[in-house]
Structure 1
Amino acid sequence: MKLRIAILGTRGIPNNYGGFEHISEYVSEGLVKKGHSVAVYNSHNHSYTASNWNGVDIVHCYDPEYLLGAAGQFAYDFNCIMDARKRKFDVVLIMGYTSSSIWGMLYPKNSAIITNMDGLEWKRSKYSKPVQRFLKYAEKLAVKYSGSYISDSRVIKTYLKDKYAIDSRYIPYGADLFTDFEREQFDQSALLKEDYFLLMARMEPENNIETILEGFSSSTSHKKFKVLGDTGNRFGKFITHKFKKDDRIQFKGPIFDNAAVRSLQNNSYLYFHGHSVGGTNPSLLEAMASEALIAAHDNPFNKSVLNADAFYFNNAAEVRHLVENVQRHDTEKTMVQNNLQKIQYQFNWEKVINEYEEFILECHKKNIHEKVIPGNR
């Protein structure tokens, strides 16, 4: 069965922003290769202006975020939803709920609505208390107005079951293995193998960047610490100012060249992953796939992916201890290889795309059945 599928809730593809854009790239292209017709909604401000990308239809919708700030996201999602109502999509896949679920009553009535429920957005420390309360409300609306749900983490799946008594489908992100071709693509002379620590993250408090850099800054290490991410926001400016006197810490800005990022991960002495809120994080999977040795913030999300194959930290003192004491011996090499096997067998894109297709087909059949036999909702 070949379906007409729409993906809403992202800034658009190809990805130049974050996790939902990342997975939308892979899933949309993968579904097209399986014979489905797929449309991804893009912000009109997106740098990609063509109407098709690798077989995926691109629908450009007006996005006033550049004028209104965060409030513009609500208008953008409204515009996408109203456009989708005019088209006869069999399935509408909504990535996240932060600014879309308030329009739930306007979701296309004849389409199967699937929402990827994201992480626990209301726990993000960057949000004020009123915003956190709104996000809890938005989460409830997403549950109310969606027909089916995806969790990218087993922790989120359990939370949704306990909180709302709904059975979401666990489908994680994926990652590609680090290839010999990628190794050759990047100028290895630009790297000093295993002579630096690395983190890659959006500059937000809940990513524990300050904790990680405090720990490193207080250490006796002579290695460099490379930080990848856009420091243009308020927190990014705070972080760069706080650590500007430590010349070991290098803020490299955002890098969208995937081969370069993965070479940096592969060559790092220790890769720090500080994310503490959300589901399965794409940058963590890519670090695993790039054969990086990982130190992660100690929380259920990270532990559900890494298990015993990482070092863990809760505070700056523990980061300092890792910086000064972690070695690269057989035990550490085994941790790296175990994580690589997880990518091969649990988090590979082919498996993820197959699971998305299977669930989408299942939701479509369920939706058709409910339309034929009214009253099942």
Structure 2
Amino acid sequence: MLGTRGVPARYGGFETAVEEVGARLAERGHQVLVYCRNPEPSTPLPPLYLGMRLVELPAVRSRSLETLSHTALSAVHLLRRTRPDAAFVFNSANAPFLPALRAARVPVATHVDGLEWQRGKWGTAGRRYYRAAEAAAVRFSDALIADAQGIADYYAQEFAAPTDLISYGAPVVRTDTSRLAELGLSPGSFHLVVARFEVENHVDLIVEGYVRSAARLPLVVVGSAPYADAYTARIRSLADSRVRLLGSVWDQELLDALYCGALLYLHGHSVGGTNPSLLRAIGAAAAVDAFDVGFNREVLGDTGRYWRSPEDVSALVASAESDPGAQADRGQAAQRRARLYDWDHVATLYESLARRLAVGGPVARRPSGRRTGRTSL
């Protein structure tokens, strides 16, 4: 498994998937190797983690080069030191390294992620690169993985390319909320946002809408992002004294207490496919109000409420505070829906795909990578 920050999972959806799937595959007797970037180089990663073998390699600390530089080193290490039966490459941005893997006869599946070229952090050159990388992933992968139906539809429409639809899992989160006292909070006494500080996650719209409301309960914001100083400053400028910016919270038990104790969870992600923080929220029985986009509706269905503007957020926050019982009911319905997203089943789908890759079975050969000219999502 390469192309991510690796494990232990401390950042995003890819890392969560690698940890949850990789650990289960190792438990089932497979040899699993994960390439990792270490956020704390002074403390080396262990050689084994949850049954997975870890290879720690450096990366250029730059927004545009960090992923590519690390994946390049990972590909070189893989081709020189080990020849796996199958490789999972995460992120279509890593498509330039696929031809080398294919030339070495390493069967490879690419998890294409969301519509990266729509992310606000990329300029014109970055968006063009991601669009080209999508086409290269289609051309040079033996299989493509999509984590949401909307992503699968996009590749079908843009490239006439089939995908394996494998979503993330939603853990059922039950934890002792007494630790909220460490933050001066109690269950049902706050609203919550957990998000990387990127424009397409709309943290600024959530904060702006909340501040416009007459909310009595505080808004707790968990998150940050490297290379996002300007956006972070915007969020801070919009906040008032009711907004509590906690930064990153790496203590999973405390983070789970926040999910379980929130009156309302506000989710602003819009371009990344199925989002693990949203799945964790419904697994914790949180009532969710989400940015109105197909990926979020796919996960929440009728258990969620939806917004597009700060004005919408203001109204929803006020509504939640006026009827806490209704939010508890919505949260219970969301937790029941979370059972559709099971990590054991997800791991089985990855295992099945790995076996198909390894034996050269019915993995569809990719189309040319040329766009069909059809209307994209």
TM-score higher than 0.5 here? yes
Alpha-carbon distance in 1 for matches of 2:120, 2:130? 12
CA contact (8 A) 1:41 1:59 kept: yes
Structure 1 position 155 matched with structure 2 position 153:
no
Match of 1:51 in 2: 47
> Structure 1 stretch 32-41 or stretch 119-128: which is displaced more?
119-128
Aligned to 2:57: 61
Question: Could you tell me which of 328, 350, 358 is aligned with 1:356?
Answer: 350
| Cα distance between partner residues in 1 of 2:214 and 2:38 | 48
Structure 1 distance, partners of 2:223, 2:31, is 34
Which of 97, 103, 114 pairs up with 1:103?
A: 97
Query: What does residue range 254-269 of structure 1 map to in structure 2 within 5 Å?
Result: 254-269=248-263
CA distance 1:303–1:242, shift in 2 (3 Å)? same
Partner of 1:10: 4
CA contact (8 A) 1:14 1:48 kept: no
Q: Does 1:278 align with 2:277?
A: no
Q: How does 1:169-248 map to 2 (within 5 A)?
A: 169-179=164-174, 182-183=175-176, 186=179, 190-230=184-224, 233-244=228-239, 246-248=240-242
CA drift of 1:328 comes to 3.8
SS at match of 1:212: helix
Q: State how far apart, in whole Å, the 2-side matches of 1:264 and 1:62 are.
A: 33
In the aligned structure 2, how far is the partner of 1:310 from the partner of 1:69?
33
Whether the 8 Å CA contact 1:13–1:48 is kept in 2: the answer is no
**Count of aligned pairs between the two proteins:** 358
Corresponding position: 1:365 with 2:359: yes
CA gap 1:178/1:299 in 2 versus in 1, 3 angstroms: same
Q: Distance in 2 between matches of 1:312 and 1:76?
A: 38
Note the C-alpha offset of 1:237. 3.0
In the other structure, the counterpart of 1:133 is 128
Question: How many Å apart are 1:324 and its aligned residue?
Answer: 1.3
Contact preservation (8 Å) 2:155, 2:161: yes
SS of 2:4's equivalent in the other structure is coil
How far apart are 1:106 and its partner, in Å?
1.2
Q: Which stretch shifts more, 20-29 or 347-356?
A: 347-356
Structure 2 gap segments, 5+ residues each: 365-377
* Structure 2 CA distance for aligned equivalents of residues 368 and 154 of structure 1: 21
Counterpart Cα distance in 1 of 2:111 and 2:267 = 23
**C-alpha distance in structure 2 between counterparts of 1:330 and 1:256, whole Å:** 30
Task: Report the equivalent of 1:32.
Answer: 26
Of 49, 53, 77, the residue aligned with 2:71 is: 77
The 1:133–1:254 alpha-carbon spacing in structure 2 relative to 1, beyond 3 Å, is: same
What is the Cα-based RMSD across aligned positions, in Å? 2.2
Given residue 11 of structure 1, which amino acid in structure 2 is its aligned partner? R
Query: Would the aligned equivalents of 1:13 and 1:21 in 2 still touch at CA under 8 Å?
Result: yes
Once residues 196 and 363 of structure 2 are traced to their aligned partners in structure 1, the CA distance between those partners, rounded to angstroms, is 42
* Preserved contact between residue 114 and residue 150 of structure 1 (Cα < 8 Å): yes
Q: Structure 2 vs 1, CA of residues 304 and 235 (structure 1 numbering), >3 Å: closer, same or farther?
A: farther
> Matched residue of 1:8: which SS?
coil
Secondary structure of 2:197's aligned partner: coil
Partner of 1:374: none
Task: Render the CA deviation track for 1:116-158: whole Å, top value 9, x for unaligned.
Answer: 1100100112211221111100111111110001110011011
Counterparts of 2:44 and 2:285, CA distance in 1:
31
Taking structure 2 as the reference length, the TM-score comes to 0.89
Closer/same/farther in 2, CA of residues 175 and 188 from structure 1, 3 Å limit: farther
Contact (CA 8 Å) 2:287, 2:304: kept in 1 or not? yes
Query: Which stretches in structure 1 are left out of the alignment for 5+ residues?
Result: 1-6, 371-377
Contact kept, 8 Å, 1:44 with 1:62, in 2: the verdict is yes
Q: Distance in 2 between matches of 1:90 and 1:135?
A: 28
Deviation at 1:275, TM superposition (A): 0.2
Inter-partner Cα distance in structure 1 for 2:3 and 2:87: 10
TM-score (norm: length of structure 1): 0.89
**Any idea what the Cα deviations from partners look like across 1:147-189, whole Å, max 9, x if unmatched?**
001110011011111111111111111122123xx22673557
Cα deviation digits, residues 188-210 of structure 1 (max 9, x gap)? 57422212111000001101111
The 1:309–1:45 alpha-carbon spacing in structure 2 relative to 1, beyond 3 Å, is closer
- The worse-fitting range, judged by mean Cα deviation, of 333-342 and 77-86 is 333-342
1:194/1:369 CA distance change after superposition, 3 Å: closer
Question: 8 Å contact 2:356–2:362 — kept in the other structure?
Answer: no
SS of the residue corresponding to residue 307 of structure 1 reads helix
Looking at structure 1, the residues matched to 64 and 120 of structure 2 have their Cα atoms a distance apart, in angstroms, of 16
Specify the alignment match of 2:374 in structure 1: none
The amino acid across from 1:207 in the alignment is: N
In the TM superposition, what is the alpha-carbon distance from 1:45 to its structure 2 partner?
5.0
